[in-house]
Amino acid sequence: MKIVLQRVSSASVIIDNKIVADIQKGLLILVGIEDADTQEDSNWLVGKIVNLRIFDDANHVMNLSVKDIDGDIIVVSQFTLHASTKKGNRPSYIKASKPEVAIPLYENFVIQMEKEIGKKVQTGIFGADMKVLLLNDGPVTIVIDSKNRE
């Protein structure tokens, strides 16, 4: 699984001109799933994300996690994170999982995240044409790949 995590002051997801998710301070997480991904990848990522110390403490040092600040989270499916651009100018998405594989893992990822932070995690709608608005705070943007655990 690949994720792009952004620390936000606010974020929202709009589908068909309707706001389906809306948060203030917290995280916007884009999630890409490939066939090789497992529940273990999801578990590892959730643990990493909720404990990642990327929010400022009283001394303006990134020393607090989203759990520490009681922040909100939006999770959005993003198959294009698995784009291959090796050949030509049209990206290939062959590594991205089909919905029948990706949806259960994505849904479980959201459920795990809710258990870890102790509150509802907002989402987009899997496979929908979404408009994602965000005010990146920092900016802080981090890419994590569960297959590359450095």
- Burial category of 3 from C-beta neighbours within 10 Å (exposed 0-12, middle 13-18, buried 19 and up): buried
The answer to whether 111 and 134 are in contact (CB under 8 A) is no
80 annotated active-site: yes
80, 85, 123, 141: which one is catalytic? 80
| Rounded Cα–Cα distance for residues 67 and 62 (Å) | 13
Q: How far apart are the first and last CA of the chain?
A: 14
Q: Please identify every residue annotated as catalytic.
A: 80
